[in-house]
């Protein structure tokens, strides 16, 4: 099922909500990972607190970025006596904004923002806090509201926001706009003729 979703997303040229959320998480974690690597810590235990459904994505991203910087991330409970990184997601997921048009009569587009706001606490084996950080990542784009089946994730519902209500009739709205434009053009040229 995930392969089908990724294939449809690739064919449509639209990144999925999970993909842009992952990019926002990497933005939020990137500079903190550099700071932690600066402590020359050989290994540490990561715990993501707060019970967010996206904790696995945060943990995976932190593990990847720390490992690439030479920090060994341990998952064994017996090794909790060492350094510990506590992460709390404050905001994580996709938020839909309002509708916009690229042209006056163009198709409607939906503003989409993947937001990741994280709090980090680094403590040593004795529980002494070495440092704390807050970081954020933001990825914004626009998508067609009619393609939500392509970019919304079917299993990871936490990355999907509720689509805003339809704020206009798909048939009537373009007709009204075209009529108004035609009336303005007529008035402009008729006033110049006098």
Domains annotated for the chain, with CATH where assigned, are: 2-165 (3.30.160)
Distance CA 112, CA 124 (A): 39
Please indicate whether residue 136 or residue 158 has the higher confidence score (pLDDT): 136
Structure-token pair, residue 38:
């600066």
Distance CA 5, CA 9 (A): 6
Q: Kindly give, in sequence order, each residue whose CB lies less than 8 Å from that of residue 110, ignoring residues fewer than 6 positions away.
A: 96, 97, 98, 99, 100, 142, 143, 144, 145, 163, 164
Q: How many CB atoms lie within 10 A of CB 87?
A: 23
Distance CA 31, CA 69 (A): 12
How many alpha carbons lie under 13 Å from residue 19 in its C-beta half-sphere?
A: 14
Distance CA 169, CA 149 (A): 20
At 7, the pLDDT band (50, 70, 90 cuts) reads: very low
Residue-wise pLDDT for 104-120, tens only, equals: 566 778 888 899 999 99
Q: Kindly give, in sequence order, each residue whose CB lies less than 8 Å from that of residue 88, ignoring residues fewer than 6 positions away.
A: 48, 49, 50, 118, 119
What is the pLDDT at residue 104? 59
What is the pLDDT at residue 112? 87
Please indicate whether residue 192 or residue 128 has the higher confidence score (pLDDT): 128
Structure-token pair, residue 76:
């064994």
Q: Tell me how far apart the terminal alpha carbons of the chain are, to the nearest angstrom.
A: 67
What is the pLDDT at residue 155? 77
Contact 54, 93 (CB under 8 A): yes
Distance CA 124, CA 42 (A): 12
């Amino acid at each position: 099922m995930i392969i089908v979703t990724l294939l449809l997303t690739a064919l449509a040229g639209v990144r999925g909500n999970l993909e842009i959320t992952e990019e926002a998480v990497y933005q939020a974690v990137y500079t903190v990972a550099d700071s932690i690597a600066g402590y020359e810590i050989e290994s540490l235990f990561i715990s993501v607190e707060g019970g967010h459904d996206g904790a696995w994505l945060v943990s995976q991203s932190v593990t990847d970025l720390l490992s690439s910087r030479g920090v060994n991330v341990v998952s064994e409970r017996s090794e909790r006596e060492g350094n510990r990184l506590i992460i709390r997601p404050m905001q994580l997921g996709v938020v839909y904004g309002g509708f916009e048009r690229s042209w006056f009569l163009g198709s409607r587009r939906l503003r989409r923002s993947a937001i990741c706001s994280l709090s980090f606490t680094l403590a040593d084996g004795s529980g002494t806090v070495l440092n704390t950080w807050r970081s954020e990542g933001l990825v914004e784009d626009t998508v067609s509201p009619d393609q939500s089946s392509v970019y919304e994730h079917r299993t990871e519902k936490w990355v999907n926001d509720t689509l805003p209500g339809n704020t206009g009739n798909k048939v009537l709205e373009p007709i009204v706009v075209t009529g108004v434009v035609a009336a303005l053009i007529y008035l402009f040229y008729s006033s110049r003729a006098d």
